[in-house]
Structure 1
């Protein structure tokens, strides 16, 4: 049997998610990063990459290339998708991990410059070909998809929780609050921005924020269209997030242990994506986890007749891992088409 060639990935944006994707690709045997577009200087990008990894010596800066024992990635000081010549690198897919270029026009710029597909690390702002949440709707993916989103870390965690529970219980409605680590677009000192609350210091405040997962949840789980409200609290923690979900169950006999057992079964059915923890963990304990959802069995509470409160944990590394899962999914679809 002929061994398949590695999947050639381009990355736009070498922030936390971009660097995590690179690290995961370097540790794999089937993905190689061939080009990286970012406004940062190569020596600074290399420095940041080495500062985060467990084996910084494996990453070398060779002129304008980041190199390791598996592949070399060309670093391009480029600010927008319209400027990046993906065609000269022979990429199979581009992951836009900037979080900035979320609408169709920017995605079409990637495609027009030679990217066969573009995958957003965030939710889109308008209609695209597909939102794929690993562990839920991979079967809906089509080889014809060109503009794809993998949702977000929070959206994936919420969707996995709802999907896992809806197989056993009827959920009438619910609300989600993500207690979320502060993000790179927040100011560390009070600084006038586009939003009053987000103009306050991320380093010393709990900042209420909106969250758009509810706007797109129905695209992945149609049965929850309009049934789940979502919001966020950005807190002065650098990594590790908590998903606080309250669900109104149709059957008032459902108790906390029934919910816990359903999530334990989901963790067994989807290892590597969902986990269930019995220990009394805190946010720092989830750092380094590549799971999309770590369900906290000690946090489940029944309130009143039919309301269940759940707690789950996640961090950005899990989302980076799922992005590469989606990359592999579409590579497999391409291979099936070629073999047909």
Structure 2
């Protein structure tokens, strides 16, 4: 039975989006009309390559110029891993190397191999936004170093330190971005996934507190076979175990939704898959609900409030079905559970690479729009 057609009991709360709740991102490649943005990528690993590929596939190349990439690896290795990707498949665009340039279709991108931020030629290249995707640099001082090198703005591809100017989550607080925000974080893939779900539930029913379990695919800080690592759990073979890891997700939620300070906790495990993450959210609500009411609110939000950010499905899908999905979160309505009318469990999927890469580009466009005004 489709839960959305099940009548709610008298004790439940029906939901319609409040008038003030319209946090959809207006920034997509088809609608963007501001001046072109000059961008550099620092770090060409999983996220850096996904950003460049999404730049082509999502149409942002029409509005954003990726001028330079700084990466220690050889340009030949960069080109090969961009063209052939074990997770996302072969890149449809032709990738070529000419001199010290990466050529993608008609676009030509300068490749640098600098190890120090202060050596990067952002001033000479007139860079508007640096996408800091190395995973190595995350302190405010690192952002300031990019600015000192000549970039106008810096966008970290991870939470970074708490003293950044702004943490930007598309669909939630993108309208609060201002010209005063120069060092910006795009949050994490898991923050981008779970915060929209929490926000919808809170606006609809009131959220008191909650816990989250992140079931995350393997990452490149794990071992193929057992090998020495400072973290003894990460010393174990990624393909043979479910591995608990540390997570700062609860603090990330507080950064975006400060009303929940001290009211969320999270744990995380890594599982032997190469991509796509599941997030198991449990919240205690302040209103009485049933499964149908919860799912109706989430589905309505996916269609009317957060299209392109939040998805909803009741199909019998598995994690691999969400590979290369550009949305931040896709709620699986078949897994929603309600206990004692106020304890609610929701399962949300996300492609932790591709969805996040698309949000990086939207955030870049948002920064560009602020710069142009």
- Displacement of 1:54 in angstroms is 4.3
Q: Find out whether 1:173 has 2:209 as its counterpart.
A: yes
- Partner of residue 277, structure 1: 313
Q: 1:122 to 1:128 in 2, by over 3 A?
A: same
- Displacement of 1:83 in angstroms is 3.0
Measure, in 2, the Cα distance between the counterparts of 1:318 and 1:261. 23
Measure, in 1, the Cα distance between the counterparts of 2:176 and 2:36. 24
Gaps of 5+ in 1: none
- Displacement of 1:26 in angstroms is 2.7
Q: Find out whether 1:257 has 2:292 as its counterpart.
A: yes
Q: 1:281 to 1:80 in 2, by over 3 A?
A: farther
The SS at the match of 2:47 is helix
Q: Find out whether 1:323 has 2:360 as its counterpart.
A: yes
- Partner of residue 64, structure 2: 31
- Displacement of 1:240 in angstroms is 0.9
- Partner of residue 335, structure 2: 299
Contact 2:210 2:264 in 1 (8 A): yes
- Displacement of 1:118 in angstroms is 0.6
Which structure would you say has the larger RCO, counting Cα contacts within 8 Å and 6 or more residues apart? 2
The TM-score normalised by the length of structure 2 is 0.86
Measure, in 1, the Cα distance between the counterparts of 2:70 and 2:157. 15
Gaps of 5+ in 2: 1-32
Contact 2:82 2:91 in 1 (8 A): no
Measure, in 1, the Cα distance between the counterparts of 2:114 and 2:182. 22
Divergent runs of 4+, >3 A: 53-57
Q: Find out whether 1:128 has 2:164 as its counterpart.
A: yes
- Partner of residue 19, structure 1: 49
Contact 2:211 2:265 in 1 (8 A): yes
Contact 1:190 1:201 in 2 (8 A): yes
Measure, in 1, the Cα distance between the counterparts of 2:132 and 2:126. 16
Equivalenced residue count is 333
Any idea what the Cα deviations from partners look like across 1:97-141, whole Å, max 9, x if unmatched? 112211112111111111111100100123110001000001211
- Displacement of 1:147 in angstroms is 0.4
Q: 1:57 to 1:297 in 2, by over 3 A?
A: closer
Q: Find out whether 1:73 has 2:125 as its counterpart.
A: no
- RMSD across aligned C-alpha pairs, in angstroms? 1.5
The TM-score normalised by the length of structure 1 is 0.94
Measure, in 2, the Cα distance between the counterparts of 1:18 and 1:180. 19
Measure, in 2, the Cα distance between the counterparts of 1:96 and 1:209. 24
- Partner of residue 155, structure 1: 191
The SS at the match of 2:255 is helix
